[in-house]
């Protein structure tokens, strides 16, 4: 999917919500555990209930890997279901990969070709040749970790390198890489005021923004500093939506939470 | 496995070789493709032929992920085979993971608990709380990317932060993390002269050294700057060993390549 198609969907649905599918057998309603594939059953229910309020889903790959072969089957079923029943939805593999060239190429193949995700999150530490293999795919996006939403972000990302924070250097350097038009960036909502600086470097790029909700970030602040005329934002919420309830009507309650965020987003879009 | 047990194995086998299992269906002998699980058949043949010359195997997780569910089955069979037939061998999941705390915990569970690897490679960009969940496991090691062997390493890892290269800052900072005694570090052989500086910061830690062989690093240089009285090195070679031949005797030829490296290593160990 192109960024423009994503933008069109955002204006149509009046939402830039991404729902994170951090699906954990210890947290889903227990009655689902008797199903053949409880992870997929949970995801399907969440997707069916929330799809009208969001434009993207982001399976958190760790949660599937932790289940081994069964987890990969559930992931594949989930992405196949999205492709078949909701082809307009943008999909993000939250994998945070990054390795030497030939290995990054295998990861890119896994997520873009085999699973058919629209985008994948990638860590920048290993530099240009670790990211470019992802960028070679047409109409696929590579979402580079820039400034993440966790406490550890301040260990390295905000270190000064020649009087410039490392995360800014990451963003600036990445603009020079081949096919850099396929880049998006992860920028944590818990650091919304940094967005103004980031927008000076990348005024147009899409940002995937975690940390609204469970991690304490504010949607209003994110929009204040980060929104562009084409929106340029995907705001993710995982636990606050998908684990809002563990009762049999969990999907309805997840939908209500998603809708509440969508309503806030529609208000922000009105201001454009 | 403890670092001490690993060291004992190194002296016993007179080798600190790690064989990388970057198993690629496009590169293994074609006659194996008719087998039920060609990846496992290839790995088993390589392991049976090379195990006496090495102390560790390092499956490169990307290559398994690229095959989806089948790849995870092959990975599981490979690690199970190592555990059952060669329990003295140290195992490394080359996964380069790293995410916010609860997600890192899922990755740690996947590689340490479910698959039973002794260690996993982890990227430092997201800082302390992205690495500590891996460090909580007893007798398991977290191998932190410090200075990698690829060209892109110079994009960020050698940036000066307060007059200190980022990779040095990563190593110094990581020493303060909880359970940091479970840390090892990735240091590329293509930058052997950096090892002297690194040894000033971490005189004892094990280093996983890629880049000898296909990527051009020299074993002698690595030992000159990086070896300790307890060795403290695992030198990896992947493609140069496992793809030395694509004929039906590929495993024998892989063994000869592994043995050649082991002989060089035995010479270096003599010098201690």
CA distance A267 to chain B (A): 30
Measure in Å the smallest separation between the Cα of A253 and chain B Cα atoms: 23
* Chain B residue whose CA is closest to A115: B68
Percentage of residues in chain B with pLDDT exceeding 90?
Answer: 80
Return d(Cα A75, Cα A55) in angstroms, integer.
19
Give the pLDDT band (50/70/90) at residue B214: low
Eight-state DSSP code of residue A97: E
- What are the pLDDT digits (tens) for B226-254? 999 999 999 998 988 999 998 999 999 99
pLDDT band at B163 (very low <50, low <70, confident <90, very high): confident
User: Is the confidence at residue A214, as pLDDT, over 70?
Assistant: no
Residues 6+ apart with CB under 8 A from B5: none
Q: Superfamily for B3-270?
A: Aldolase class I (3.20.20.70)
Chain B residue with minimal CA distance to A67? B110
C-alpha distance from B262 to closest chain A C-alpha (Å)? 25
How much is the pLDDT for A87? 96
pLDDT at B200 over 70: yes
The span from the CA of B130 to the CA of B128, in Å, is 5
Nearest residue of chain A to residue B101 (CA atoms): A150
Catalytic pick among B14, B77, B96, B128: B96
Break chain A into its structural domains and give their ranges: 3-270
Residue among B76, B106, B127 whose CB faces A66 most closely:
B106
Determine, for residues A69 and B65 on separate chains, whether the beta-carbon distance falls below 8 Å.
no
Residue A248 CB burial class (10 angstroms; 0-12, 13-18, ≥19):
exposed
What local confidence, expressed as pLDDT, does residue B107 receive?
96
For residues B119 and B185, what is the distance between their CA atoms, to the nearest angstrom?
11
- Distance (Å, whole) CA B218 – CA B73: 35
Instruction: Tell me the count of A-B CB pairs closer than 8 A.
Output: 182
B27-36: Cβ within 8 A, 24+ apart? B27/B243, B27/B246, B28/B246, B28/B250, B29/B246, B29/B247, B29/B248, B29/B250, B30/B246, B31/B248
């Amino acid at each position: 999917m192109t960024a423009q198609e994503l933008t069109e969907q955002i204006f149509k649905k009046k939402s830039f919500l991404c729902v994170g599918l951090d699906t954990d057998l210890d947290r889903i309603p227990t009655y689902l555990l008797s199903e053949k594939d409880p992870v997929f059953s949970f995801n399907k229910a969440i997707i069916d209930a929330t799809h009208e309020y969001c434009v993207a889903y982001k399976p958190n790959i760790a949660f599937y890997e932790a289940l081994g072969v069964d987890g990969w089957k559930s992931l594949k079923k989930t992405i196949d279901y999205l492709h078949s029943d909701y082809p307009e939805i943008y999909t993000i593999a939250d994998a945070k990969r990054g390795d030497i060239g030939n290995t990054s190429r295998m990861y890119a193949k896994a997520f873009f070709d085999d699973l058919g995700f629209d985008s994948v999150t990638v860590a920048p530490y290993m530099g240009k040749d670790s990211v470019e293999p992802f960028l070679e795919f047409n109409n696929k996006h590579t979402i580079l970790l820039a400034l993440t939403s966790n406490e550890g972000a301040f260990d390295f990302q905000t270190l000064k390198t020649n009087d410039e924070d490392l995360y800014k250097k990451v963003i600036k350097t990445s603009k020079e890489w081949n096919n850099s038009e396929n880049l998006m960036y992860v920028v944590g909502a818990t650091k919304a005021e940094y967005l103004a600086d980031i927008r000076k470097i990348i005024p147009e790029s899409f940002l995937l923004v975690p940390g609204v909700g469970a991690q304490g970030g504010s949607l209003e602040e994110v929009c204040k500093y980060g929104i562009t005329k084409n929106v340029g934002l995907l705001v993710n919420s995982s636990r606050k939506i998908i684990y809002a309830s563990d009762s049999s009507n969990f999907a309805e309650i997840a939908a209500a939470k998603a809708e509440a965020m969508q309503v806030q987003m529609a208000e922000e879009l009105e201001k454009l």
